[in-house]
Amino acid sequence: MDFSIIFIVFLVINTCLKLWLDKREIASILRHRSAVPEAFAQKITLQAHQKAADYSIETIRFSQKERWVSLLFLLIATFGGLIQQIYDFFTAWLGNGIWTQISIVGVFALISSLVDLPFSWISQFKIEEKYGFNTMKKSQFFKDLGISTLLSIALGLPLLAVIFWLWQVAGSLWWLWAWTFYVAFNFAVLWIYPNFIAPLFNKFENLPEGDLYNKINFLLQKVDFESNGLYVMDASKRNAKGNAYMTGFGKNKRIVFFDTLIKKLTPDEIEAVLAHELGHYKLKHIYKMMAVSFVFAFVVFALLDFASEADWFYKGLGVVLNDGTSHGVALILFSLVLPVFTFPFTPLASLSSRKHEFEADKFAVENANGRSLITALVKLFSDNASTLTPDPVYSAFYSSHPDASTRINAIEKILRNEQQ
């Protein structure tokens, strides 16, 4: 069977599946919009519940529009001849060397980014602003865009150059060497991110001494976690949502609190939220996910090597090569088709992530105040307008975190067991 037919069949199945899941989610939210779920009746107002419902539905419908444009762009890029034209132009101008491959990938990435740009703008300044989340100035949007672009060039150019060079000189096992370099490159970026990349986008100040500072340090000592500093990030210059995270690895780990989180939660609640994040590290969730991603990358590089040597792969996606192979074209085509064939496996990744969230919650209850974790989650679900009534099938497919009711019920069960 022609590869183009296989690809289109999977594309149609994926599109229909996504639309069906969206329909279920919207129906579930609308069905429960008129009343706060009983478990949250005393914790969240009807107004907040309906705001979350409306926000969730609007973001889903907006993502559908974005998906249709992405689908159209995919068809134009492949069967419509866009990639063919980019390939023809640069091979006629520069030949078929490494710089040609980098140029092909770079120009396609630029065009793809320009297609996505209006959706980022509308999401930030229309939807997020409509529901009171956006605090970003338009000048900040363009500043972030400029920094992100320069950073992508600074990091992406050497990564591509080395991979294409290995592809050219390392023989049949080029993909294994490229994968090894890719893993090392990722570790290097993780190492430099806290000190050199993150400060390009945000300001980080030391967490001031006081009740919260003391609680956090006591918690770190209790769970035997070494940190390279406690910081507050000016997240409020972009949106009003609260969060906390840890970044880096080894001795270069940092704990970062959004300033919005500190304003919304009590010290006990922030301690409980951090205990959850610490649980991910202490239970080795971070390293397990990294291991899975690197194994996945190993398979991807191997499959890329296989596909790049197959004439049916290029022709099946609307590209005819006039000079043997094109590593740049192969990389673009593979990056476009991979999500189409891997989408049905999304629930497996979501299931693993939700399992980690339950385990981290249990760790937090054991090492901080479980009741404070519940009140913190209720505030965050409310302030971030997370729907309380998701469709179970939709959640099983997409959700990396358990829904609010399931998660809080699990925490309360742990607390009851501790009291017995």
pLDDT in tens, 19-59: 999 999 999 999 999 998 887 888 888 998 999 999 999 99
Instruction: Give percent of the chain above pLDDT 70.
Output: 99
Sorting pLDDT into bands at 50, 70 and 90, what band is 244? confident
The answer to the question of whether 280 is labelled as a binding residue is: yes
Q: What is the mean pLDDT of residues 248-254?
A: 76
* 339 and 345 Cβ atoms separated by less than 8 Å: no
Q: pTM, whole model, 2 decimals?
A: 0.91
- In this predicted structure, the answer to whether residue 99 has a pLDDT above a threshold of 90 is yes
pLDDT of res. 247? 82
Cβ contact 113:122 at 8 Å: no
Cβ-based neighbour number of residue 238 at 10 Å: 21
**Is 58 flagged in the annotation as binding?**
no
Active site residues: 277, 361
Please determine, for residue 369, whether its predicted confidence score (pLDDT) is greater than 70. Answer: yes
What pLDDT score was predicted for residue 96? 86
248 pLDDT tier (thresholds 50, 70, 90): confident
Point out which residues pair with 239 in neighbouring strands: 134
Rounded CA separation 346/351 (Å)? 9
- The predicted structure's pLDDT at residue 1: 65
3-class DSSP string for the chain: CCHHHHHHHHHHHHHHHHHHHHHHHHHHHHHCCCCCCHHHCCCCCHHHHHHHHHHHHHHHHHHHHHHHHHHHHHHHHCCCCHHHHHHHHHHHHHCCCHHHHHHHHHHHHHHHHHHHHHHHHHHHHHHHHHCCCECCCHHHHHHHHHHHHHHHHHHHHHHHHHHHHHHHHCHHHHHHHHHHHHHHHHHHHHHHHHHHHHHHCCCEEECCCCHHHHHHHHHHHHHCCCCCCEEEECHHHCECCCCEEEECCHHHCEEEEEHHHHHHCCHHHHHHHHHHHHHHHHCCHHHHHHHHHHHHHHHHHHHHHHHHCCHHHHHCCCCCCCCCCCHHHHHHHHHHHHHHHHHHHHHHHHHHHHHHHHHHHHHHHHHCCHHHHHHHHHHHHHHCCCCCCCCHHHHHHHCCCCCHHHHHHHHHHHHHHHHC
Tell me: pLDDT of 420 over 90.
no
Q: What is the pLDDT of residue 390?
A: 93
| pLDDT digit string, tens, across residues 331-366 | 999 999 999 999 989 999 999 999 999 999 999 999
pLDDT digits (tens, 9 = 90+) for 206-242: 999 999 999 999 999 999 988 888 999 999 999 888 8
Mean pLDDT for all residues in the chain:
92
Per residue in 60-84, pLDDT (tens digit) is: 999 999 999 999 999 999 999 999 9
Amino acid at 214: N
Q: Is 357 annotated as a binding residue?
A: yes
